[in-house]
Structure 1
Amino acid sequence: MGLIRLNTGYLNTKSGILKIIEIGCVASAVGLLRVSSPVCGQTVGSYFLGVGVLVAALMVTPLLLTSYLMGNMQIQNTHLEIAFNALFSLLLLTAGVDALKAVGNVYRDDFNRECFAMGIVSIAACLTYLLDAVVCVRLYRNNN
């Protein structure tokens, strides 16, 4: 059995750096959502949207990063990563805006800070995913 070699050079690329930032933002948003109120959003449905999006992003992005670190770069030649990045960008924007709308309306001072921080971090993750989608489109066009 051979040794596993990691493609650590990927971490120095724009996409690699963005993946690390995405994982950090999404993990922070999950932590903030966990310590906030039972419903950090306008409704219970919007809370489940936020939880679902954050958990999905927290599962897919590290899997893509691990795949690239193991040398499976052919994923960049498909539309898969572009679709994931665009979809997560849109859904994180929705969850972040909904959390920010709930700050002054639904909660008292106890939960306002956590929901506000979760909304801001979700929007920051949205922008990072959007930037990563642009980088992936440019890379896709160069490869094909």
Structure 2
Amino acid sequence: MIVIGVILLTAILALWAITTGAIRFLGTDDDPEPGGGAGTTQPTVGSTAAVTEGDLEMQLRSVRPAGPGKLGVTLTVRNRTAAYVSFYGESQELVSPDEHTVSGAVGLTSLEPRESATVTVVFTVPADFRADELELHAAPGSPGRRIPLG
């Protein structure tokens, strides 16, 4: 009986830590390692003005290679509310001039009320893909706001 109680307590604490952002294993707050950007067309950072979408304020910091066929987009994300919210990496999109899109890798960053975090979203891009804009979404299915790149 004690073993079951310890397992349940551990599961509850792990769930709490993940949902409150105490443990962030699905996303990363670190910049990707430079180099190894073969096959990626490197856009430059265009607008660096913060945009507001839903409960989040997001500001583009950098775009850089994150390995072969990958781009890392670093953002500062701020929760504008008094409630807990999450930032979903897979909801973010790179947009080409002909409106083709590439979604970010799965990643979740939980933000406490009024908290800011630096988040890097990694995109796997086809060899011929040219990113023209970044479309940022506060939540899956939200309208999004576009930021021009280089």
TM-score, normalization: structure 1? 0.29
Greater share of helix: 1
